[in-house]
Amino acid sequence: MENVNRKDVARTLGIDDKSGKFKPSKKWLIAGFLLILFAAAGFFLKSNDQSDAFKYTTQAAYKGNLIIKVSATGTLVPTNKVEVGSELSGIIRTVEVDYNDKVKPGQVMARLDNSRLEAEVMKSRATLASAKAKLLSAKADLWKTQRKFLRLKKAWEKSHHKIPSQDEMDNVKAAFESAKASVAVADAGILESEATLKGFLTDFSKTVIYSPINGIVLTRNIEPGQTVAASFQAPVLFTLAEDLTRMELHVDVDEADVGKVHAGQTAVFTVDAYPNRSFRGKILNVHYGSKTTEGVVTYETVIEVKNKDLTLLPGMTASSDITVKELKKVLLIPNAALRFTPPEVKKSSSGTGFMKKLMPHRPFKRPARKKPKNNINSMARQVWTITDQGKLSALKIKIGATNGDVTQVVKGDIKPGMLLVTNAEKPK
């Protein structure tokens, strides 16, 4: 009896009655697995319950003015910049203006050595005088041959073409025509000499460099005694700015923003020399030609700037903000409210639940992406608010313009002062 009871107890406990070792049965294995499964499920349920408690951050919708701006950088340039050069080669004798000097039209800026051209002018004048003397001599010969021809012609007609002979008459007539040709040649020689003299006088006048405009000397690239070589290209001696009280700011607008920029819009810009001061300008035009720099396409835009106190200088780099749109008294919401997604939605969409990990399921097939339509429905969005019971509630809205911080609400059940959720955090 004692042996039977011992065997029954050993069999029930899964102990080998011969060795005395514990031998687990299938029932015990299943019971242990279920116990571990329920413990894990309870742990995850508890953690999920704790994760449902979030602290929400909210911001209120409000009515206000929305200003949309486009940023661009560029350089200040004069409205009219003139480069003054020399058409002649030579040595600079004198320089009569310096940097920042104000000049007037016709004012002497520099002089070249003109001794060679002065000699050429004198030679041309002597050649012209010689040509005029030749003309006088040719006219005298013409007068003499003409008198002789007329006298013989008269005698020839009275003698009924007998005296003088026909050969003598032909020779006199030929001499007369030759004298007329000599006069014409001498007359042409005068014209040629006058043209040569005029050319040398023109070159002689170019040895003096004059200012073509009213302006200010920006740069001076010559010194007295320096040699100017103008064989292939006229060298730039001075750079003049016509009027620094009116300047232009040339900025590069990105291709994504150029469609919003138009003539007449206002711009505010700053320069590094005066970081605490803002300057205003107006868009003159947007150039159609594009520029590509390191793969970035931009369009040059010209901004008119007033500079009465001459604070701004040519070449300064400016950072500008162009106001492309301004809306007054519209309903605005923070952009953070548009980016907010409730944690429950994130959790359900992520598909990382404990049971989903354990249970087999079909592979998720992503639906085909639809192209957005170019209408106001493509601007439909969703924001969240908190009800009186402390629960989240979704609101469908249609949005309009944005400046990156706040967005205009075109349509939706949102009123000024309504609190919208912008963030959710777990309380520590």
pTM of the model: 0.63
Give percent of the chain with pLDDT exceeding 90: 61
In terms of domains, do 337 and 318 share one?
no
Q: Higher-confidence residue: 176 or 358?
A: 176
Instruction: Tell me the per-residue pLDDT of 233-259, one tens digit each, with 9 for 90 and over.
Output: 788 999 999 889 999 999 999 999 999
Structure tokens at 177: 């025509």
Distance CA 197, CA 125 (A): 6
Q: Return the CATH number at 389.
A: 2.40.420.20
Q: CB–CB of 271/305 below 8 Å? A: no
Lowest-confidence pick of 102-111, 329-338, 365-374, 416-425: 365-374
Give the model's pLDDT for residue 50: 46
Radius of gyration, CA atoms only, the chain: 51
Question: Mean pLDDT across the stretch 325-347?
Answer: 87
Question: Mean pLDDT across the stretch 62-66?
Answer: 94
Count how many Cα atoms sit within 13 Å of the Cα of residue 398 in the half-sphere of its side chain. 7
| H runs (alpha helix) in 206-342 | 335-339
Torsion of CA 308, 313, 316, 321, to 10 degrees: 0
Lowest-confidence pick of 8-22, 41-55, 171-185, 274-288: 8-22
Structure tokens at 95: 């320089």
**Helix or strand or coil: residue 62?**
strand
Residue 366: how many other CB atoms lie within 10 Å: 5
pLDDT of residue 7 exceeding 80:
no
Question: Mean pLDDT across the stretch 406-424?
Answer: 92
Q: pLDDT class for 380, splitting at 50, 70, 90?
A: confident
Residue where the block lists tokens 């750079």:
239
Give the model's pLDDT for residue 91: 94
Sheet holding 90-95, edge to edge: 208-210, 108-112, 90-95, 227-228
Among 256, 251, 218, 260, which Cα is nearest to 237's?
218
Lowest-confidence pick of 82-86, 185-189, 279-283, 390-394: 390-394
Distance CA 264, CA 126 (A): 64
Give the model's pLDDT for residue 1: 46
pLDDT of residue 347 exceeding 70:
no
Q: pLDDT class for 330, splitting at 50, 70, 90?
A: very high
Handedness of CA 284, 286, 288, 292 (dihedral sign): positive
In terms of domains, do 29 and 157 share one?
no
Distance CA 238, CA 99 (A): 9
User: Does a structural domain hold residue 159?
Assistant: yes
Instruction: Tell me the per-residue pLDDT of 156-204, one tens digit each, with 9 for 90 and over.
Output: 777 777 777 777 888 888 888 899 999 999 999 999 999 999 999 999 9
Q: Which domain holds residue 114?
A: 82-227
Give the model's pLDDT for residue 173: 86
pLDDT of residue 21 exceeding 60:
no
pLDDT of residue 33 exceeding 50:
yes
In terms of domains, do 320 and 282 share one?
yes
Question: Mean pLDDT across the stretch 52-72?
Answer: 89
In terms of domains, do 298 and 410 share one?
no
Q: Return the CATH number at 278.
A: 2.40.30.170
In terms of domains, do 174 and 263 share one?
no
Q: pLDDT class for 67, splitting at 50, 70, 90?
A: very high
In terms of domains, do 323 and 344 share one?
no
Distance CA 300, CA 320 (A): 13
| Total residue length of the chain | 428
In terms of domains, do 325 and 335 share one?
no
Number of domains in the chain: 4
In terms of domains, do 97 and 212 share one?
yes
User: Does a structural domain hold residue 60?
Assistant: yes
In terms of domains, do 160 and 261 share one?
no
Q: What is the average pLDDT score of the chain? A: 84
User: Does a structural domain hold residue 323?
Assistant: yes
Distance CA 237, CA 93 (A): 13
In terms of domains, do 287 and 347 share one?
no
Distance CA 194, CA 126 (A): 11
Q: Higher-confidence residue: 170 or 138?
A: 138
Last residue of a domain, one of 201, 227, 253: 227
Omega cis (within 30) before 164: yes
pLDDT of residue 415 exceeding 50:
yes
Name beta bridge partners: 292.
297
Give the model's pLDDT for residue 38: 67
User: Does a structural domain hold residue 236?
Assistant: no
User: Does a structural domain hold residue 232?
Assistant: no
Last residue of a domain, one of 227, 258, 274: 227
User: Does a structural domain hold residue 382?
Assistant: yes
Last residue of a domain, one of 329, 356, 381: 329
User: Does a structural domain hold residue 237?
Assistant: no
Structure tokens at 84: 């003054």
